[in-house]
Amino acid sequence: MINYLLLTAVALLAVALAGIVTDRHFVVIMLAVELMFISSSILLIYFFSYSPSPSPEAVPMIVAIWAVAAVEVIALITFYVYMKSRGFDFDVTRLSKLRW
C-alpha cells in the first residue's frame, strides 16, 4: 500500500513538471503547481507513515501545505477574472503586456 503512495506522488510530480515545461498557458501552469502541492502532501503522509507512533508534526505541516494551496487557488481565480476582464492573453510569453 505504501509503495503505491510513493508511486502516485512521483507520477503526480512528473505530470506537474511536464505541464510546466510544455505548456505556456497561465492556468495550466498554476494547476501544475497545485499538483505539486498535492504530490508533496502525499509524500509527507508517506514519510510520516514510517514512524512507529503517529507524529504530531505531520498534521500542522499538512494543514500548512493545504493552506498555501488554497491561497494559490484564490490567487488563480483572482488573476483569471482580472485578466479575462481586461482582455489579456493567457500565454505567459505575452504577459509583458501587463506593464502599467
Separation between Cα atoms, residue 15 and residue 35, nearest integer Å: 8
pLDDT of residue 96: 58
Domain 2-94 coded CATH 1.10.287.3510 = yes
Q: Is 25 left (phi over 0), alpha (psi -120 to 50) or beta?
A: beta
pLDDT of residue 18: 92
Reported as a pLDDT band with limits 50, 70 and 90, residue 59 is confident
The residue written with cell numbers 485578466 in the block is 83
Q: pTM for this structure?
A: 0.67
The domain limits of the chain are 2-94
Separation between Cα atoms, residue 78 and residue 84, nearest integer Å: 10
pLDDT of residue 1: 62
Task: Using the predicted structure, report yes or no on whether residue 55 has a pLDDT greater than 80.
Answer: no
Region 45-62: mean pLDDT is 76
